[in-house]
Each structure stands twice: as structure tokens, then as C-alpha cells.
Amino acid sequence: MRLNYAAASSTCKTSESEIHIEEAEIYTPLQRVDHLSRFSLGLRLSNEHRWLKFTLEPNDNIIADNTQLSYVDNGNCIGVCRNMERSAVMAFKGSVWVQGTGKCWDKVGWARICIRKDGPDPLFEGTYSKQKSIYDIQIRPAEMNNTHQWDLRRTISNTTGCPNSRMVASVGIATDCSYTASFDSTDAVIHNVIRMINSASEVFESSFNITLSLGALVVGERCQDLTPDPRTWNIPCSNGSLSHRLDLFSRWRASRRDNHAFWTLMTGCSGAGIGLAWMAQLCNTNFDQHCGTGANVVARTGVEWPVFA
């Protein structure tokens, strides 16, 4: 039997590709921003003397008006549903400029940034491009901000059937107990998911003319000592491979009968691969044991958005 899915894998990069941010400044009065702000963010990197400037605006599509946050236990029971507040989501998009000669600035790429803290000493994460290179900005605990160069390969080039005008695709995200346990709080899980979608949406927009919007987020509770329901995807790492999780998650996704383009399961379990997806199943809500459904699995890594995209 041949299953119609695609896998992703990765190799580790050395610390030689890390570039530290020496200075960063938000160019607004009092260096303050909110979720509706349009502003510029300047930063100076350790490997060059010229400043970079991100010209940013709100990513208004990052969550829908009725995006729901809910929780699931080991028995597949969902509860504590509430709508996510747009005012709490500090996700921005824009362009990257480099300081040229004199007072000129040259446009060199795009940026997707999530602000964690504003003010004179800002904290932010995200992704940006400069010429043909793409960089990921991460915050390290007890360390200064840093950027990490990420090598993206063109794995999908066929855009046949993509819309001529910009469309919005609502996506569902679920985190299993192992993924949730790798963060200090539920808020940290939510922030990481939003950051991932904000960065990945740039790839979908430039390649397929589709903007991603978080339509639903289901957070799996921390792993319990109880024997999990064999039908649920919210299981410890010892209870199955990525392909087994994809099968369980696909059946759960098909049972929901919602209008989301696809669902992604984020897992903290490691293995031979870092991602698994059914091929050519975007917007498919029905499950077939040979073709699957509109669902995929992404494993926890330092940079998850390229796998998600």
C-alpha cells in the first residue's frame, strides 16, 4: 500500500551562522506600539555597521474575528472555549530597508515581526529577508536577541490553480501535550503559534496569493500519567510515530466538519523527520485511508515556520 504523503527533514546548523543584534530601536513617540501601530523598527547587526530598518504595519488577517481558543484533554474532550482578543496579538508585516549612501535607504526584502515588549529595550521575534537570504529572529533566555540564517529551498514551484486576487485561508492549529509542555505557559504557546503563522503567511502570499489566518487553536493539556484514549492525537511521545499521529489527527480533523482550509498538529516528539503531510489535500475535510485529508504534523524545532509552510 502506498500512502500519499510528504515528509520533511532537517540538518542542524552551527553557531557560526548566528548574527547578534547589537542595537534595536522602535521609531515612535516613547517607543511604544500597539496592535494597530504603523511604525519603523531599526536594528544594527554584529556583522555590519549599517542599520536595517523594518517598515511595519499590522497583519490584520493574522486572526479572524471569531478565532476560538480551546483546550483538549487525553480523552479528546474539548472545553474552556473563548475568542482570542485581536488587541493582544502584536503581529506585523512589512519591508526591509538598508542604509545606503547619504540619507538614502534601499529596499532589500520583507519582514514578519511579532513584538513581545516595546519601549527603549524592545523584545521581538520573527523572520525577514535581505536580498536572497532569509533570517529568523529568536529570543534566547537570559541572552540578547540574535538572528539565525535559515536556508530555504524551493520545494513547491507549481502554482497552477492559485487565485489571481488575494484570498484568505483560515487554518486550524492544535498542540499536543508534548508540545505544550515544552513552553512555560499557555501564553507562550499562543505567541509561538501566531509568530509561526505570521512568518509562513509571507511564503503563501508570495507563492500562491493566499494569506493565512488563524481560525482556531486547540491546546492539548500537559501529558498525564493516565492511559490515553487510543483514538486521540493528544498522546505522549512513546505512543506512536509521526505517521501514526498524522493518521489519528486526520480522522479527528475529518470529524469536525469545519470550514478551515487545513489543520496542523504541533508536536514536541522527535523522530526521523520534522514534518508530515498528506499531499494535494488543501481544503479537503473528508478522510480517505489512502489519500488522507487536509491535515499535517509539524515537530518542535528551533525554527518551525519553514516546515509549516
CB 205 within 8 A of CB 110: no
User: Is residue 3 included in any domain, yes or no?
Assistant: no
- Total count of domains within the chain: 1
Cα dist. 94→51, 91, 212, 233, 290 in Å?
16, 11, 15, 36, 41
User: Is residue 145 included in any domain, yes or no?
Assistant: no
CB 4 within 8 A of CB 290: yes
Give pLDDT, residue 216: 93
Give pLDDT, residue 294: 78
User: Is residue 254 included in any domain, yes or no?
Assistant: yes
User: Is residue 71 included in any domain, yes or no?
Assistant: yes
- Residue 207, burial from CB neighbour count under 10 angstroms (0-12, 13-18, 19+): middle
* Cα 250 from Cα 264, distance rounded (Å): 9
State pTM to two decimals: 0.81
Give pLDDT, residue 229: 62
Q: Which amino acid makes up residue 219?
A: V
How, if at all, do strands 78-83 and 51-58 pair? unpaired
| Three-point CA angle 195, 200, 206, nearest 5° | 140
In which domain, by residue range, is 43 found?
Answer: 21-138+164-307
pLDDT in tens, the chain (309 residues): 333 444 444 444 434 467 788 899 999 999 999 999 999 999 988 877 888 999 999 999 999 888 989 988 665 566 667 889 899 999 999 999 998 777 788 999 999 999 999 999 999 999 999 988 899 998 876 543 334 333 333 333 444 555 566 788 999 999 999 999 999 999 999 999 999 999 999 998 988 888 999 999 999 886 765 555 656 888 888 887 888 888 889 888 888 878 888 999 999 997 767 888 765 445 444 545 444 457 899 999 888 988 887
User: Is residue 8 included in any domain, yes or no?
Assistant: no
* Cα 73 from Cα 110, distance rounded (Å): 39
* Cα 221 from Cα 73, distance rounded (Å): 5
End-to-end CA distance of the chain: 27
Q: In what order do the strands lie in the sheet with 275-278?
A: 5-8, 275-278, 295-299, 262-267, 167-175, 210-220, 63-72, 78-83
Q: Which three cell numbers stand for residue 303?
A: 525554527
> Does residue 292 come out as left (phi exceeding 0), alpha (psi in the -120 to 50 range) or beta?
left
User: Is residue 143 included in any domain, yes or no?
Assistant: no
Q: What is the CATH number of the domain that holds 173?
A: 3.40.390
Q: Which three cell numbers stand for residue 182?
A: 515544552
Give pLDDT, residue 41: 97
User: Is residue 158 included in any domain, yes or no?
Assistant: no
User: Is residue 151 included in any domain, yes or no?
Assistant: no
